[in-house]
Amino acid sequence: MQADVDFKIAALRALRGRCPCCGQGKLFRAYLKQVEQCSACGERFGQIRADDAAPWLTLIILGHVFLPLIFLFNWDWMPLWVAMVSMSALVMALALVLLPRSKALFIAILWRTKAPGYKPVELG
């Protein structure tokens, strides 16, 4: 039941944690576990495998954000252990926030393009 949804709209819906097809139903039933099908439109997402892409994108984004911070700012005004603990906590918190959004984005990409990670379930 894949509707002809614009790629940008599908991606934005997924980033909000909603169904890329209709924008109404939830995309995840748990932190990183996608629903089998949308509760609003019935579009199936359980067969889409976006497992390795989400951590990859999360690491790329976090690396490009934190590496410049580490080199550009002078951290000498606080003890080294405080800087290490606070930066580690911040990186972990941002990774936990970013990871489901990255997975949702890749689910939308695979759903919209019917790429190799998109495997329709054969009935019968």
- Check: CB of residue 45 under 8 Å from CB of residue 37: yes
SS (H, E, C) 26-57: ECECCCCCECCECCCCCCECCCECCCCHHHHH
CA distance linking residue 19 with residue 29, whole number of Å: 12
User: How many C-beta atoms surround the C-beta of residue 11 within 10 A?
Assistant: 19
pLDDT digits (tens, 9 = 90+) for 67-104: 888 788 887 888 989 988 988 898 999 999 999 999 99
Rounded to the nearest integer, the mean pLDDT of the chain is 88
**pLDDT for 121:** 56
With beta carbons less than 8 A apart as the criterion, state whether 36 and 46 touch.
yes
Phi-psi region of 69 (alpha: psi -120 to 50; beta: other; left: phi over 0): alpha
What would the mean pLDDT of 45-74 be, rounded to a whole number?
A: 88
Q: How far apart are CA 67 and CA 29, in angstroms?
A: 33
pTM score of the predicted model: 0.83
DSSP 8-state class, residue 11: H
Q: What is the pLDDT of residue 123?
A: 54
Domain boundaries along the sequence of the chain: 7-113
To which residue do tokens 């490009």 refer? 64
